[in-house]
Amino acid sequence: MQVCEGDEIVVNVDNLLRNGEGVSIHWHGVHQRRTPYMDGVAQLTQCSIPAYTSFQYRFKADTPGTHFWHSHSGLQRADGLFGKLVIRQTPADDPNSHLYDFDLPEHEIIVTDWLNEPMMNEFPAHHHKQLNPLNTKGSRNLIPISNVKSLAPDDKSLNDPDMQLYLSFDFYKVDSTLFHDPSLYPIRAIEMGKHLYTPQVNHISAILPPSPPLTQYYDVPQNLICNETTRRNCDKEYCECVYMYKIPLGNVVEMVLIDEGVTFDASHPFHLHGYRFRVVAMDRVNKSGVTADDVRRLDREGLIARKLSGAPLKDTVTVPDGGYTIIRFHADNPGIWFFHCHIAFHAEIGMAVVMQVGEPTDFPYPPYKFPRCGNFAHTRGAEPPPGEEYLESIGRRNRARYGSHHTDSGASDKSLGCILAVFCCFCAFFRLT
């Protein structure tokens, strides 16, 4: 998909998946200012698009660069449901245009893993190792993050933060109901090589709500929402919820991301929807493991240097195994935004949090007749037909909406009933005579 900066993008998605799966499409790198309901995260910004239905995405291409689009439902992205999205600038506006002899669509390459079976088959036995060069100290061949400079000018995100969040994560030996039912096969009763560890943030697994809070905020049961300040003992027993932070609109937020690095040598790439952030610090502390308390102590002792001028702008960044990455962003884009590990397995089973920026009254209105979804509690038997009171309430609503000249449904139904009754009596009288 090739567009120009400022274009309006309109995409009609027809879900023809044969197995009844829902789908949604995320436009990775597009911040969706004023159109957060087009971000494409199923059950956060929209309902999943049901099989054999369609959904139209419509938004402005206002973040130039090389991006991609992908499914944000289940493991579909890892199975190949993704593609290129390039938002081009004019040569005069593109700071890198002078570096190219030709900058053509046919010169672009997109790379992914090629596996010989569906991701769901790989899911239970998933183990991986990866190491980002930024995890090591700088050398002639390796560039430390402190030497990376943004071409964009400094902005409010580099101001002193209004709030600071510590998010530590790892693979934990916990009886997650996804893998180890404690009443049947607890993790401690299984041989070491067959443990399935649970990736969590602050010992909490994020789940998705039954309705998208962006457009159905008050349909989300409040007892499903939590964070580490409202849950206890999650380091000893399995915890899950709609893991949410509420951020006042306009705040500068600093997030200290800590990969404890105990279970595997596996760095995590974290992606923030709706924003790009400044990467102000990154380092690997201890290959054998690190805790949030360790990082707090380093910060108190002045051993963490933050780059507060020319810090790189990213929307996805790696957190070194056994280390930390510190990011800042200016929360000026109201909405419900996902922040998650971009390894498909990890996001799917809960390595994520939700950022609510602003109050629901700050959220832009969704399009007319935007799809809704959620729970249905069938507490009574079959409902009787609408009675006089219901029909009269419809009439009052219509009169208020369209004026007194509008005939309300209750009156029209009663008038029609009277006419039919008179007509039937008239016919019966003449048949008898």
Token pair 């070194």 is at which residue?
Answer: 320
Whether 182 maps to a domain, the answer reads no
Q: Pseudo-torsion of CA 198, 258, 268, 64, nearest 10°?
A: 130
The model's pLDDT over 216-253, given as tens digits with 9 standing for 90+, comes to 999 999 999 999 999 888 988 899 999 999 999 999 99
With contact defined as beta carbons under 8 Å apart, do 395 and 402 qualify?
A: no
**Average pLDDT rounded to a whole number, residues 206-211:** 96
Token pair 């102000």 is at which residue?
Answer: 280
Whether 354 maps to a domain, the answer reads no
Q: Which of 4-13, 184-193, 216-225, 229-238 shows the lowest per-residue confidence on average (mean pLDDT)? A: 184-193
Calculate what percentage of the chain has a pLDDT beyond 90.
Answer: 53
3-class SS letters over 106-153: HHCCCCCCCCCCCHHHHHHHCCCCECCHHHCCCCCCCCCHHHCCCCCC
Whether 223 maps to a domain, the answer reads no
Can you tell me the distance from the alpha carbon of 236 to that of 346, in angstroms, rounded to the nearest whole number? 20
Whether 144 maps to a domain, the answer reads no
Full residue range of the structural domain in which residue 410 is found: 389-432
Whether 313 maps to a domain, the answer reads no
Whether 235 maps to a domain, the answer reads no
Angstrom distances, CA of residue 422 to CA of 140, 388, 425, 433: 98, 21, 5, 17
Give the CATH number for residue 1: 2.60.40.420
Give me the pLDDT at residue 398, please. 61
- Angle at 410 (CA atoms; ends 409, 416), nearest 5 degrees: 85
Sequence-distant (6+) residues with CB within 8 A of 412 are none
Considering the chain, what is the average pLDDT of its residues? 84
Angstrom distances, CA of residue 374 to CA of 27, 212, 366: 24, 8, 17
Whether 315 maps to a domain, the answer reads no
Whether 47 maps to a domain, the answer reads yes
Give me the pLDDT at residue 386, please. 55
The model's pLDDT over 125-148, given as tens digits with 9 standing for 90+, comes to 544 333 334 445 666 666 666 667
What's the domain count of the chain? 2
**Average pLDDT rounded to a whole number, residues 266-273:** 92
The model's pLDDT over 272-286, given as tens digits with 9 standing for 90+, comes to 999 999 999 999 998
Six token digits for residue 421: 């009754």
Check whether 99 has a pLDDT greater than 70: yes
Tell me which of 117, 140, 170 is where a domain ends: 117
Query: In which region does residue 261 sit, left (phi positive, over 0), alpha (psi from -120 to 50) or beta (all else)?
Result: left
Can you tell me the distance from the alpha carbon of 336 to that of 41, in angstroms, rounded to the nearest whole number? 10
